[in-house]
Amino acid sequence: EYTTNGISALAGLATIPAISDQTMDMPTGWSIFSTYLSLPDMDLATILSSIFDQIIICKNNAGDAYLPEWGFNGVGDIEVGQGYQIKLIGDITITAEGDYMAPEENSIDLTSGWNMIGYLRLDPADAAAVLFDVNATGNLVIVKDYSGQAYLPEWDFNGIGDLVPGQGYQLKINNDDVLTYLSNDESYRMTTSEVINNTPSHFERVAITDNNMTIVIEDAAWDVLPTTGSEVAAFDKAGNMIGSALYTSPVTVLTVWGDDATTSSKDGLVVSEAVSFKVWSNNETNTFEVSKWIEGSSDYNVDAINVASSITTTNINQLLSTSRELVRIINVLGQEVTAPDAFKGEVLFNVYNNGTVEKVIK
């Protein structure tokens, strides 16, 4: 460090190798990637040429698309500091070679609304610490990774944890801003934001698509507060699960997924489709309805942040017992039988008028 009229003597020197390549791991299905290199050819098609036959689609923040099957590249050149959404047939690892773009020298311009950013530092760093300056003025609304995990500063909820090189992130702000990362020689300050793991184990994880909606449930909204270890899940009108999360106090964040337009089957919600909910608590599954919302509604809208105000929980067994009627009884071969004539120990299935089926053993 500089000292007036000082004398410094070097005891040793260590050569720091120049960063000239980057390895990016991309999973099957949808994800978001970015690079911290300036490449000899920044054309997206050239960069991804080695995995040409594995790409279904790649999009930038504006929605411009690269569709290799049709030889169409609406994205053109990629930009350092930007993230790109991609859908792949299989797990892929690619290595790019170029000049490292120092994070402190390559600020990222953020526009009001949604942005898709890259991460330029060599080592991971906590999302809350990295985005502290953007959030300090109340400008940051939400940050999401490709798996739907969110950082919501208003609720002090950090489900992302660290930002990681090679990945990209969706970020929403109220006003135009600039994001400048610290140099690799500096460290971000520790934050008071605890990293929250809300991965469920009872309910299955659902397929990731390219669009989702975030539902926020504060403890005060529940009529019956779930116990520690409980889980919540969301369903479309056909009863297909489209989101699940671990209950976390004092706020639970549930990501629900929209339909993937690149598939022929319906694998998520369509815009304005109603969402229904269930909660698994104390080894019992109940339905619940959000009767009032502070913000948003039960209808799906891409990138919406819907905040529950009041929840009414209904016991599923009580609901079924008062609304269903037995239609027929069938055995394991699908043959209709009369219950009193069944053999002892035979497995039968009661079919009810509401479409539910109950397994019984005589």
* Residue 147 or residue 192, greater confidence: 147
15 confidence band (pLDDT: 50, 70, 90): very low
What are the structure tokens assigned to 196, written together?
């929250």
- Residues 6+ away with beta carbon under 8 Å from 108: 81, 82, 117, 118, 178, 179, 180
Strand 305-315 to 212-218 pairing: parallel
Question: Is residue 71 scored above 90 in pLDDT?
Answer: yes
* Cα separation, 282 vs 248, whole angstroms: 15
Least confident of 203-217, 220-234, 256-270, 339-353: 339-353
SS3 state of residue 137: coil
CB 212 within 8 A of CB 258: yes
- Residues 6+ away with beta carbon under 8 Å from 244: 200, 203, 204, 205, 206, 231, 232, 233, 234, 254
* Cα separation, 18 vs 1, whole angstroms: 23
CB 236 within 8 A of CB 57: no
pLDDT in tens, 16-54: 547 899 999 999 999 999 999 999 999 999 999 999 999
pLDDT in tens, 111-126: 999 999 999 999 999 9
* Cα separation, 311 vs 288, whole angstroms: 7
Q: Which of 208, 209, 280, 223 is nearest to 246 (CA)?
A: 280
Question: Is residue 104 scored above 50 in pLDDT?
Answer: yes
* Cα separation, 328 vs 154, whole angstroms: 53
Q: Which residues of 273-285 are buried (b: 16+ CB within 10 A; e: fewer)?
A: bebbbbbbbeeeb
What global pTM score does this model have? 0.82
Q: What does DSSP assign to residue 215? A: E
